């Protein structure tokens, strides 16, 4: 990798991390709005609910951002398969098999 490609890779990483954190914000908002597993009630009635909210968003953002970046890298992969796709001519070969046990 050349030095010129590094800023492009970093920009790609930061862009996909930002997308992951936005998706995480929507995901956590839906978790709390629909009160999944009484999580919304727990966060709303707790005196440190803001900490739980931040941690939910931060850790989900980390996971979703990493997945976004991994998917983008895997989709940019080049196919290095250099096999000849012409197929060629197939010739059947007879193979005899013997048993050592039967001797």
Q: Which residue has the tokens 């398969």?
A: 81
What average pLDDT does the segment 1-19 reach? 82
Provide the H-helix boundaries in the chain. 5-33, 39-45, 49-75
Which tens digits make up the pLDDT trace of 22-39?
999 999 999 999 999 999
Angle between helices 49-75 and 5-33 (to 10 degrees): 140
Which pLDDT score, from 0 to 100, does residue 100 have?
80
Return the domain boundaries, the chain. 10-75
**Structural tokens at position 6:** 């590094």
Spatial CA neighbour of 72 closest among 22, 15, 24, 23: 15
> What length is written for the chain?
103
Q: Which is higher by pLDDT, 85 or 39?
A: 39
Which pLDDT score, from 0 to 100, does residue 67 have?
94
pTM of structure: 0.68
């Amino acid at each position: 990798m050349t030095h010129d490609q590094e800023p492009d890779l970093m920009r790609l990483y930061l862009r996909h991390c930002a997308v992951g954190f936005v998706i995480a914000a929507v995901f956590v908002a839906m978790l709390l709005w629909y009160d999944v597993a009484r999580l919304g009630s727990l966060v709303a009635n707790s005196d440190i609910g803001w900490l739980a909210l931040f941690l939910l968003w931060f850790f989900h953002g980390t996971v979703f951002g990493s997945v976004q970046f991994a998917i983008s890298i895997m989709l940019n992969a080049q196919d290095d398969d250099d096999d000849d796709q012409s197929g060629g001519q197939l010739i059947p070969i007879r193979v005899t098999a013997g048993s050592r046990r039967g001797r």
